[in-house]
Chains A and B, each alone.
Chain A
Amino acid sequence: GAVVSQHPSWVICKSGTSVKIECRSLDFQATTMFWYRQFPKQSLMLMATSNEGSKATYEQGVEKDKFLINHASLTLSTLTVTSAHPEDSSFYICSAMGLAGVDQETQYFGPGTRLLVL
């Protein structure tokens, strides 16, 4: 149980295009989802927290207009990187927390999406 998937697992795009990454909780309802960014050989940097049906809360220094987050349902959150540039290339990881059927203290992580912007 408590499986979180991400799609795509990797994506290559041209500079200036937008890329959408999906995060799904497959067997539980995710009341809260988190989006992280991980640079090579570094820790995870929290980008934003989203609750179903409400606006995401962004961490300081994260551009809201560049990283659009939508948590439209209890099983799906999306991160859209708008007008991507090479410096946006990174490993993006989502996580989810739920209330029923899972440990309420634990964030369950997706496998990550590797983005390369050319």
Chain B
Amino acid sequence: GNSVTQMEGPVTLSEEAFLTINCTYTATGYPSLFWYVQYPGEGLQLLLKATKADDKGSNKGFEATYRKETTSFHLEKGSVQVSDSAVYFCALRKYGGSEKLVFGKGTKLTVNP
């Protein structure tokens, strides 16, 4: 079945450090891939997405590239800020099938000043 595996956290960085959160997936066909962010006490917000191989999603300085050969969608940011502290979820949606999202377990990021 479809599944998403994220690197386990928590991740703690200093401000302006480089961030990578790994995400790999298992799916048949060509899923769409998403990163959602959840700030403390809030629901999820879409951060970025990619719908086909080699697409790069980007938003707020975050980037992720859809790599079919490695079935990965790693999230990166060159210089994190304290305000980026949140839980990040990688997710996939199966192409042409159900609209359901399959989520990874989430990675908690804490950025210290």
The chain B residue with its CB closest to the CB of A5 is B43
B residues with CB within 8 A of A: 32, 34, 36, 41-46, 49, 51, 89, 93, 98-101, 103-106, 108
- Residue A21 lies at the interface, judged by CB distance under 8 Å to chain B: no
Check A111/B42 contact, CB under 8 A, given A42-B105, A44-B89: yes
Check A109/B99 contact, CB under 8 A, given A43-B104, A43-B106, A93-B43: no
Stretch of A11-19, A61-69, A76-84, A100-108 that contacts chain B = A100-108
Chain A contributes a number of interface residues (CB within 8 A of B) equal to 21
- Dominant secondary structure of chain B at its interface with chain A: strand
Verify B99–A32 contact, CB threshold 8 A.
Answer: yes
Verify B46–A106 contact, CB threshold 8 A.
Answer: yes
* CB < 8 Å A-B pair total: 47
Residues of B within 8 A of A41 (CB): 108
Residues of A within 8 A of B99 (CB): 32, 49, 97, 107
A32 to B49, CA, bound (A): 20
The 0/1 profile, CB within 8 Å of B marked 1, for residues 22-46 of chain A is 0000000000101000000111101
A111 to B44, CA, bound (A): 7
The chain B residue with its CB closest to the CB of A108 is B46
Residues of B within 8 A of A4 (CB): 43
Residues of B within 8 A of A32 (CB): 99
Verify A34–B105 contact, CB threshold 8 A.
Answer: no
Residues of A within 8 A of B104 (CB): 43
Check A112/B43 contact, CB under 8 A, given A42-B106, A43-B105: yes
**When the two chains form the complex, which single residue of B41, B49, B106, B108 contacts A105, counting CB atoms closer than 8 Å?**
B49
